């Protein structure tokens, strides 16, 4: 059961009754629930990224203690990219438009935004895995490759996050070359 489904199942009886009686309320409430699910998911992603950034800070300390100073620029760049990613995910638009908003977002687009945000967890997992491998092989031959992978994944996560705005405003559909009507 998805986060959105769990939120829907927790609606109070009065809200369910009102949605059956008032025209338009059900659609409004559905968008409101999608907005809340998206917000909770993004907060979860931001918390996970903060944990990963702490692990990256540990890797930087490991690099210093083992004399691998030549990799500090790359880990510093990755740390900056991760902090930017944290801030962007945490403060991103909710993926919802109110009645008077300039940009209207249809429910299908809201579902795409939610799916897109869920897919961002893949970046968190990949970065975390690369940090773990780098820390395990701190003196190994693969260390440089893992550090560069961490840096590149952090940069790619930020570039990918730019597509989220396209979903909300530009009609971009994830995994498609066609832009649907928002």
Contact 135, 58 (CB under 8 A): yes
Look at 40 and 171; give whichever has higher pLDDT: 40
**Residue-by-residue DSSP string for 48-106:** HHHHHHHHHHHHHHHHHHTT-GGGHHHHHHHHHHHHHHHHHHHHS--S---TT-SS---
- pTM above the 0.85 mark? no
Contact 29, 105 (CB under 8 A): no
What pLDDT is attached to residue 96? 47
Q: Is residue 158 part of a domain?
A: yes
φ, ψ for residue 28 (rounded to 5)? -60, -45
Length of the chain: 182
Q: Is residue 1 part of a domain?
A: no
Q: Is residue 49 part of a domain?
A: yes
Q: What is the pLDDT of residues 97-113, one digit of tens each?
A: 444 444 455 667 777 77
Q: Is residue 151 part of a domain?
A: yes
| For residues 159-181, average pLDDT | 63
Contact 60, 143 (CB under 8 A): no
Q: Is residue 92 part of a domain?
A: yes
Q: Is residue 69 part of a domain?
A: yes
Contact 50, 86 (CB under 8 A): yes
Q: Is residue 164 part of a domain?
A: yes
Q: Could you give the CA distance from residue 132 to residue 66 in angstroms, rounded to a whole number?
A: 16
Give the domain range for residue 49.
45-170
Domains in the chain, number: 1
Q: Is residue 93 part of a domain?
A: yes
pLDDT band with cut points at 50, 70 and 90 for residue 174? very low
């Amino acid at each position: 059961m998805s986060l959105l489904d769990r939120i829907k199942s927790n609606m109070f009886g009065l809200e369910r009754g009102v949605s059956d009686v008032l025209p338009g309320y059900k659609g409004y409430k559905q968008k409101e629930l999608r907005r809340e699910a998206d917000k909770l998911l993004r907060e979860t992603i931001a918390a996970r990224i903060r944990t990963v950034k702490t692990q990256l800070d540990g890797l930087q300390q490991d690099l210093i203690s083992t004399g691998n100073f030549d990799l500090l620029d790359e880990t510093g760049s990755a740390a900056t990219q991760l902090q930017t990613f944290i801030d962007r995910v945490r403060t991103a638009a909710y993926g919802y438009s109110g009645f008077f908003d300039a940009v209207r977002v249809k429910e299908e687009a809201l579902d795409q935004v939610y799916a897109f945000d869920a897919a961002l967890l893949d970046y968190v997992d990949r970065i975390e895995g690369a940090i773990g491998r780098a820390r395990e092989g701190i003196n190994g031959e693969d260390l440089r490759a893992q550090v560069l992978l961490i840096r590149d994944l952090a940069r790619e996560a930020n570039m990918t996050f730019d597509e989220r705005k396209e979903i909300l405003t530009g009609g971009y559909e994830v995994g498609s070359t066609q832009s649907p009507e928002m």
